[in-house]
């Protein structure tokens, strides 16, 4: 028996070794981890919070270029900020707000808590203003959105601070109710916005940084 034949592996071992080598070289590397500042990570977080019927508009964007993802996230923020402050201005200068009392008051209560804290932090309202709004809206006879007929409650709602909190909370509830329209509109406008705004801006910033490095 020759040395070569004596050192040769059995056919079964040959086959298993080939399969293991094939698996080793064909296994794809794990996907890179994304950070909280990565647009794809932010889109994934948003996508997980959306209802199932809206995910069909956002899930395809997870495989889109970064410019498209960034465009969608910017448009999503614009469609939240513009209606919010637009409605606040309309309520503030128009002297009227819709009545949002009813069984579904979750977004309104969330807006009262969120903007009560935010407006106090900005120094635009006092702490007692938020307490007055919370007490008035939690009472059974409170009529959110209109000046109550009760003398004490009416005086509270005529206060600029309490009125401002209610205006922001009502605008927030309406903006949140418009989420399906905002998602669809943002997804529809994403390719156009990436082409005319985000893409040229990114290329301009990149060219500026390259010129700065050369200098």
Question: Is residue 18 included in any domain, yes or no?
Answer: no
Residues 6+ apart with CB under 8 A from 45: none
Question: Is residue 81 included in any domain, yes or no?
Answer: yes
Three-state SS for 23?
helix
- Whether residue 138 contacts residue 112, with contact meaning beta carbons closer than 8 Å, is answered with no
Question: Is residue 17 included in any domain, yes or no?
Answer: no
Question: Is residue 13 included in any domain, yes or no?
Answer: no
Instruction: Provide the pLDDT for residue 102.
Output: 62
Question: Is residue 174 included in any domain, yes or no?
Answer: yes
Domain region containing 127: 71-183
- How far apart CA 73 and CA 50 sit, in angstroms, is 14
Question: Is residue 100 included in any domain, yes or no?
Answer: yes
pTM reported for the whole predicted model: 0.71
Over the stretch 153-169, which tens digit does the pLDDT of each residue have?
A: 444 455 788 889 999 99
Question: Is residue 55 included in any domain, yes or no?
Answer: no
Over the stretch 17-52, which tens digit does the pLDDT of each residue have?
A: 455 434 434 444 444 445 667 889 999 999 999 999
Question: Is residue 83 included in any domain, yes or no?
Answer: yes
- How far apart CA 40 and CA 42 sit, in angstroms, is 5
Instruction: Provide the pLDDT for residue 104.
Output: 56
In the chain, the number of structural domains is: 1
pLDDT-based confidence at 174, cuts 50/70/90? Answer: very high
């Amino acid at each position: 028996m020759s040395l070569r034949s004596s050192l040769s592996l059995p056919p079964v071992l040959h086959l298993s070794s080939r399969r293991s080598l094939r698996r080793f070289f064909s296994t794809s590397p794990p996907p890179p981890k994304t950070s909280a500042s990565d647009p794809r990570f932010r889109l994934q977080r948003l996508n997980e919070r959306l209802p199932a019927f809206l995910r069909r508009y956002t899930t395809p964007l997870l495989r889109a270029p970064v410019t498209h993802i960034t465009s969608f996230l910017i448009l999503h923020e614009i469609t939240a900020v513009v209606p919010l402050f637009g409605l606040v201005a309309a309520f503030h200068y128009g002297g009227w707000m819709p009545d949002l009392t009813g069984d579904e008051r979750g977004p309104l209560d969330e807006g009262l808590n969120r903007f009560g804290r935010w407006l106090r932090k900005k120094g635009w309202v006092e702490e007692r203003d938020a307490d007055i709004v919370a007490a008035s809206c939690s009472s059974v006879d409170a009529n959110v959105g209109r000046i109550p007929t009760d003398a004490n409650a009416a005086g509270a709602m005529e206060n600029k601070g309490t009125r401002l909190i209610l205006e922001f909370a009502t605008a927030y509830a309406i903006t949140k109710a418009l989420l399906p329209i905002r998602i669809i509109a943002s997804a529809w406008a994403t390719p156009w916005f990436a082409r005319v705004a985000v893409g040229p801006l990114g290329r301009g910033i990149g060219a500026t940084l390259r010129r700065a490095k050369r200098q």
